[in-house]
Structure 1
Amino acid sequence: MQDKNLLEDFSCFYGLLFHSFAFMCDLWLLSSQYALFDIVGKLFLSQRTVRCGTWLKKRDKQLSKKVFDFVHKHFWMKAFLTLCSFSCDGSVWFTIPFVPVLCHLYKSPQESATFSRWKATLFSVDFALFCFVVLCCCTLSAVLELSLKVVVRRKRPSFNNKSSFVIPAEKWSFPSGHTMRAFTICSYVSFRIPWLRSWFPILRSELASILFVCCLCTWACLVAISRIGRGRHFALDCYAASVCGRVTSLVLLTPIVDRFLSSSFFIFVSKLRTR
């Protein structure tokens, strides 16, 4: 019964949050373009907006505390969510995609023919380009995350006192960097399924592609839940991070940015190989 109530709280919270976010965006756009709406907003909507924001923040903290308490009652769930959180850690996603890129950037004269064939088989130029763009996804999401944290400066949840931070900006909670990175990678990779089919033939099946995208989305959602369950972020931090992650991936998928990254990668590789 408690699990059902928790699930209902999740669905109601995110449904209301979506409509509130859309309403606030529309109101801000109108008030910034038309002086009449600006006056009406100040006279009529200001107190209502403040009350709505206060209520939303209160519900956000209550829901996050419920999830935190529920997770810490079950050791297996805490361990599983810790693993999910680590799967999107910056140390993982700034290291693993760098290996194929490094293989093409570094070419030693003493390199054996066997190693060259192995490298060409496992790490093709196209795959290195794909990993390079994934690194750009992680970098852009990290820059956006740290910038928002410095600007918003929302404190971390008070019910978790075991947090430690390497970068000073990480002591702030809004938005969740892990969640933003997860949704950025999930969105970008989902749109790049045609690229992946050349390296993973199993994805040439439509059913396999759909299942793969569903697994990616599930993984991204689990990362978001893990950040709430471990007491590192509030629910609103993860929701905002998921939206920012989607926007970041869409920016990198635009033709202009895509061509710029591709040309930059090939120019850089060609210059290194001519030395």
Structure 2
Amino acid sequence: MEPFQASSSSLPSLFLIPAWKQVDSRLTAGFTGRQGGVSREPWNSNNMGLHVGDQADDVIRNRKLLAHSIGWSFEAWTCAEQVHGCEVRKVTREERGKGRTLHADAIQGADAIMTNERGVLLASYYADCVPLYFYDGENGAVALAHAGWRGTVASIASETVQAMREAYGTKPQSIRAAIGPSIGSCCYEVDGPVISAADAVMRELGFRHETAESCLDRLIGEKANINLKELNRQIMIKAGILPSHIEISKWCTSCRRDLFFSHRADGGRTGRMVSWIGLSER
């Protein structure tokens, strides 16, 4: 069953995780679709990215609509710069609200953010890359990681688990994780440099042959279809997260352009979805 279910009664379009809704009444987590916002072409309509050329006022309005839809104050919205790396940053109470109205004000140089502060809504942005979610109920900590192919092969999933362990005492086996909508292997053909980088991380982590094949489907010539979702799942498992604790979406952002923005399928000029996670104060 698809873990990210479209909310039939809401605009903007939201994709929620029903299995997580019963875990903790304070927990909110999900992913937006491309419909139900105010942005104009080519970002129409629910663009959440301030860095893609859209009118800032429209993006901020879209962000406020989401915050209202999930019952959170817009002042809680907190995000990072996202540089396709593997840096993990701890978000303090003083950093609450960073990047919500100005891209330059976002937490710099990070693709993963984590917090154990109540009332902080973590957010990150996508148009094919893989959204990773982490929830540690024992220690009241949450995290998001933005995993493009560079972040994936740099093991940003594992780096996030280790950062949560060091900062909050998180036990990997206690983490609930989710891998959200992103480009699927059906639509993501890559060449030599990406294949080499994926091979290197799989060798380093000791992937079995059949596991490596499930992540990288080699084609004729120096081409392959890469399954970034499965590669991130396997990295999560190597980091100690139980397979039964990992939700993985089947949605492909490139196949379903009616629902999602896709950098590859839309020719590079398109909007951004947002992933979010947070624990409310009550």
TM-score with structure 2 setting the length: 0.28
Larger radius of gyration: 1
TM-score with structure 1 setting the length: 0.28
Say which structure is richer in strand.
Answer: 2
